[in-house]
Amino acid sequence: MDITELVAEPVLVKVTLKDKEIHDINDGQDITFWMLDRYDGEVYYKYKDAWEKVGEDEDLKALREFAMPLILNKDGEQVFKDGKTIRNFAVLNQIALGLSKELGKLLGVSKTETVDDSTN
């Protein structure tokens, strides 16, 4: 395969979070945002680092800080900029988790790992 077939400009993709956790904390409403369909390698490493910090601290702060700049509106502009944030902190956590899940799919990363402990 010619490498030029793998290279393209990023495009916006719509993400709608509509799981039970979102509905429980957002009055039964879905949440929609946009993100790009591809990112450079630096984003992959930041993604990995954020999840490692979540595992160490059992706190979503690193994941929120990673995700917020990647959450875009339908025009491709950052939503969380110039001090803008969400009043309900639980919703922000769920958005960060939702973006992380979608980004994991795009990057070919799965947070679910199988450990073979049959040798123990």
H helix intervals, the chain: 20-25, 41-57, 61-67, 89-107
Cα separation, 105 vs 115, in Å, equals: 20
At residue 117, the pLDDT reads 35
Consecutive sets of 10 residues in the chain, 120 residues long: mean pLDDT of each? 90 92 89 92 89 82 91 96 86 89 76 38
At residue 112, the pLDDT reads 40
At residue 109, the pLDDT reads 58
> Which two tokens mark 66?
């990673």
Cα separation, 90 vs 37, in Å, equals: 26
Provide the residue ranges of all domains of the chain, joining segments of one domain with +: 3-107
pTM of this prediction?
Answer: 0.78
